[in-house]
Structure 1
Amino acid sequence: MNQYLQGFQSFLGARKLPSPTKLKQPKSQKRWLFLSKYLCISLAVILVLVWSHTAVAQESAPIRPELKRVLDTIWLVITGSLVFFMNAGFCLLETGFCRKQNAINILAKNLVVFSIATLAFWLFGAGFMFGGGSSWIGTEGFFFNGDNIFQTSEDGSGSLATSEAKFFFQLMFAGTAATIVSGAVAERMKFLSFLVFSFLLVGFLYPITGHWAWSNSGWLTDITFNKNELQFWDFAGSTVVHAVGGTAGLMGTVVLGARTDKYIVPQNLSSLKLREKTKFNKKIESLSGHNITLATLGCLILWLGWFGFNPGSTLEATSPAIPHIFLTTNLAAATGGIGSIIFCFVRYRKPNLSFIINGILGGLVSITAACAYVSFPDAALIGVIGGGICVPLITRLLDWWEIDDPVGAIPVHLGCGLWGTLAVGLFSIGPDKNFDWAYKSEYGPAQGFFRGGNPNQLIIQLLGAATIFTFILISSRAIFYLLNLIPGGIRVSELEEKDGLDKYTFEDNIQDIYQDQIDALNQKLESLNQKINKLNR
């Protein structure tokens, strides 16, 4: 190596180049680069092998069950890890949308809630959700220990992944439902009260409704309507995950009430525009978040995580539906963001980044139920309605009724979740429209109402969504009522809310140089005012 450097130096007539030894990296850094490089290469090779083998298998003999089991297991682990990474997105999004005096509280809730969700789903949730038994609730598989409680097709055409991989993947979804509530009740709910509610939500409420829709024995999976055998379809959880979390968050905001300084009595009510006031003649304060950069980065991470959320719900690596789901998911996200930009220009004559962020997320939630069963144009339409209409409309309705949602969790997850579920009954392409890969073995929703079908599937979708919404609303209200009976209730004091939950709930002391400068200036101004008052006397 030195000979080549010296020859290059003499050829150019340049000054002596630095010795290669001076360019060496520390051993720890070299080791990390080595490991990260080969980890990425290994994952890339695995994905290439999976997809190439799938492509060949579709044109030749079926894949052997032993190999399919390995591929399906790897697929669920990888996509489940992407869904887990969405927790980082929620952390950044909610922290950025909230005020800085509550940043530690938001981060801690999003971090600890997954630990709570893991314990609750392992103890009770998986059994209630996927264990056999009645059509209303599972009765086996508690304290999950690798038991085969998950649905497996008898002909071997479905997912052959191990039970542990299926549990891991479903656990990621359960944790997501609890994380949604965190944003809706931000800045005013006690930390321990939130953790207790999260445990009950993931351990009992979420798995019960999930059993109805996703278990092989759930009552929503076998409904006779107008002499037709129909089923409630929610491919990746628009209602089962997102609307459940959004509904629980809605009830939490109603029980807690708005933040103290969110809706105030105006000095001059007549000077306010309609969008600036509530039904009860109060002024709406924006209470903007402290770091839109964090919120934007969180949105991008969630967008990435959705490529595990929706395609991973095929539960099998060899499903030919995966590329289609990737594209419908991405289209809906893109049109959701564009729809929110159009709304902002129409309403405010300039864009609003907070609306754009929630518009993208609204598009993603909207397509989650129908991503495998709709065409690309319909996916784009579903996304633009979710992000450009549902999110701003429901945001305005919440402010009108003084329901305070700091991060927009209710419009995005509840509103768009319900819309996405109904979209299955409106836009589903149907089993007779060249979607054989999505409708194998007569598996899939009936043709949508707007695609030439009758309204039967739409009615079933409405029935399932309304039933789940009602159950979560009532049961969440009961839990919040019981938690509120504990001395001190579930809401922090007015002083704690004003000064920030970080100051009273956590021992962490994070230095904020800007706040220190502001405090120093305030002290100087106060001292100067005292001197002026003395001189005036």
Structure 2
Amino acid sequence: MKYKLTLAGALSAALLTAGPALAQEASPEVPANSVYIFNTLLFLIGGFLVMWMAAGFAMLEAGLVRTKNVAMQCTKNVALFSIAALMFYLVGYNLMYPGDDGWIVADVIGAIGAKSIDEVGGNDLATGYSSASDFFFQLMFCATTASIVSGTLAERIKLWPFLGFTVLLTGIIYPIEASWQWGGGWLSDMGFSDFAGSTLVHSAGGWAALAGALILGPRMGKYKDGRINPIPGSNLPLATLGTFILWLGWFGFNGGSQLAMGSLGDVTDVSRIFVNTNVAAAAGAVAALVLTQLLYGKVDLTMVLNGALAGLVSITAEPLMPSQFMAIVIGGIGGVIVVLAVPMLDKFKIDDVVGAIPVHLIAGIWGTIAVVLTNPGTSLGAQLTGIVAIGIFVFVVSGVVWGILKMTMGIRVSQEEEMLGLDSAELGMEAYPEFGKGSQFV
């Protein structure tokens, strides 16, 4: 995502009304209001596609947790999206785009206040887009970061401490680190490149999830007597649906990050981004499909689903510059990463319920490094600096927040509540009441 949008060169006016024969004779200039309209439309379409990813995360997580915890995951995903929407309005947006590095408390206090949202019927053509559309689009990236954390910590974390962490993640932690690049901060100045957020969004969410998983600990029975005990999800068709929803939403995630659609070049680039995004996801899925067959003798559907998502995360740092072949290579390596990283986490007894750490954190790091393979304007040093800086900041701050929550509110449910399931223990309801132990249905 480019940190600052400039007015794109314009579509020929004749292209809006005339056929190809007349287009060649038309003036290359277009009224500023046409540029404004097309750029704004890209923000809005990209924004609601990324918003639809919230449904994808909810369905993916609902399918990969046990039946007794499905309602809790749905509740968390609706709540975290809503909290993100409010916190990004109250603090996050101004904190992310002041043009400074956002390090000190004064920056946070100064960010609180009214947002620059369009007046009714207003059209400040100097910006090249509606400021409300920009706010809407950027909000969706903030919410996505929180969604990543939800799945990793599923089935044993209390609801309210998780939501308390979400308040700080979406209002302060994410906006600060994102401002270093997209707000014109120090990473942008040094040449770090992350087009749509492999590190700024996905790895950041992964670091926050990893800090939480280490402090929270694994689920009961996951690692026992030196063995790793698989805990199957409740609904793989639902997880598959969630993956396809995320795949669809990613076209808005990456395509919208072009930030302009007011010229032939921009529209062409958005189209190229769509193609590269799609083939990277496909390559990640196929790589996981083949590798699980070779390693285990059977295909693992959950690995294939996460392979597709890892391919998407991998290409997110630079979906424009690679050729289609290179996009396939980048996405395919992302799929391999998932298959190898999931058992690695288990060896360290890090319980990641949905595989978000391999998909978003590790594949996000790979995708950010891979930028140097296709973008001659970047350097490995700058990419590694951004990865390390954001990783340290998000992991340390998240660890401190999780630690404080653990000492004050407590973040983990009791053993009895975990055995009963968070649906009943925390919510007093069940996602599938006809299958529950207390069901009165025959």
- 1:512 shift after superposition: 3.5
Aligned partner of 1:251 in structure 2 is 211
Aligned partner of 1:128 in structure 2 is 95
Aligned partner of 2:364 in structure 1 is 417
Name the amino acid aligned to 1:207.
Answer: P
Please tell me whether residue 506 in structure 1 is matched to residue 427 in structure 2.
yes
Distance 1:165 1:207 in 2: 18
Q: Is the alpha carbon distance of 1:510 and 1:378 closer, same or farther for their aligned partners in structure 2, counting shifts above 3 Å?
A: closer
Aligned partner of 1:312 in structure 2 is 256
Name the amino acid aligned to 2:391.
Answer: F
Structure 2 residue corresponding to 1:236, chosen from 193, 196, 203: 196
The normalised TM-score by structure 1 is 0.73
- Once the two structures are overlaid, the 10-residue window that deviates more, 117-126 or 359-368, is 117-126
Gaps of 5+ in 1: 1-48, 149-154, 224-230, 266-281, 431-444, 447-456, 522-537
CA deviation vs aligned residue, 1:472-495 (integer Å, no higher than 9, x gap): 1110011011111215x1111011
Cα pair 1:136 1:219 within 8 Å, conserved: no
Name the amino acid aligned to 1:258.
Answer: P
Cα pair 1:73 1:162 within 8 Å, conserved: yes
SS in 2 for 1:62: coil
Aligned partner of 1:479 in structure 2 is 401
Distance 2:330 2:26 in 1: 33
Q: Is the alpha carbon distance of 1:52 and 1:82 closer, same or farther for their aligned partners in structure 2, counting shifts above 3 Å?
A: farther
Name the amino acid aligned to 1:75.
Answer: L
Cα pair 1:126 1:144 within 8 Å, conserved: no
Rg larger in structure: 1
SS in 2 for 1:61: coil
Cα pair 1:75 1:315 within 8 Å, conserved: yes
4+ residue segments displaced more than 6 Å = 517-521
- 1:510 shift after superposition: 4.9
Aligned partner of 2:38 in structure 1 is 71
Distance 2:15 2:403 in 1: 55
Within 5 Å, which residues of 2 pair with 1:98-137?
A: 98-134=65-101, 136=103
Q: Is the alpha carbon distance of 1:350 and 1:59 closer, same or farther for their aligned partners in structure 2, counting shifts above 3 Å?
A: farther
- 1:332 shift after superposition: 0.2
- 1:132 shift after superposition: 3.2
Gaps of 5+ in 2: 1-11, 119-124
Distance 1:511 1:95 in 2: 12
Structure 1 residue corresponding to 2:47, chosen from 68, 80, 83: 80
Within 5 Å, which residues of 2 pair with 1:273-284?
A: 282-284=226-228
CA deviation vs aligned residue, 1:131-184 (integer Å, no higher than 9, x gap): 134575767553342269xxxxxx97xx71111110000000000000100001
CA RMSD of aligned residues (A): 2.5
Q: Is the alpha carbon distance of 1:88 and 1:51 closer, same or farther for their aligned partners in structure 2, counting shifts above 3 Å?
A: farther
Within 5 Å, which residues of 2 pair with 1:137-148?
A: 141-146=111-116
Name the amino acid aligned to 1:214.
Answer: W
Cα pair 2:60 2:242 within 8 Å, conserved: yes
- Once the two structures are overlaid, the 10-residue window that deviates more, 70-79 or 284-293, is 70-79
CA deviation vs aligned residue, 1:496-535 (integer Å, no higher than 9, x gap): 11110011111335553344599999xxxxxxxxxxxxxx
Q: Is the alpha carbon distance of 1:113 and 1:59 closer, same or farther for their aligned partners in structure 2, counting shifts above 3 Å?
A: farther
Q: Is the alpha carbon distance of 1:113 and 1:121 closer, same or farther for their aligned partners in structure 2, counting shifts above 3 Å?
A: same
Cα pair 1:136 1:212 within 8 Å, conserved: no
Aligned partner of 1:386 in structure 2 is 334
Number of residue pairs aligned between Structure 1 and Structure 2: 414
- 1:58 shift after superposition: 12
Aligned partner of 1:463 in structure 2 is 385
Within 5 Å, which residues of 2 pair with 1:189-204?
A: 189-204=157-172
Please tell me whether residue 290 in structure 1 is matched to residue 234 in structure 2.
yes
Within 5 Å, which residues of 2 pair with 1:389-404?
A: 389-404=336-351
- Once the two structures are overlaid, the 10-residue window that deviates more, 404-413 or 67-76, is 67-76
Q: Is the alpha carbon distance of 1:61 and 1:240 closer, same or farther for their aligned partners in structure 2, counting shifts above 3 Å?
A: same
Cα pair 2:36 2:128 within 8 Å, conserved: yes
Within 5 Å, which residues of 2 pair with 1:336-485?
A: 336-387=284-335, 389-428=336-375, 430=376, 445-446=377-378, 457-485=379-407
Aligned partner of 2:187 in structure 1 is 220
Bigger RCO of structures 1 and 2 (CA < 8 A, at least 6 apart):
2
- 1:427 shift after superposition: 2.8
Cα pair 2:100 2:179 within 8 Å, conserved: no
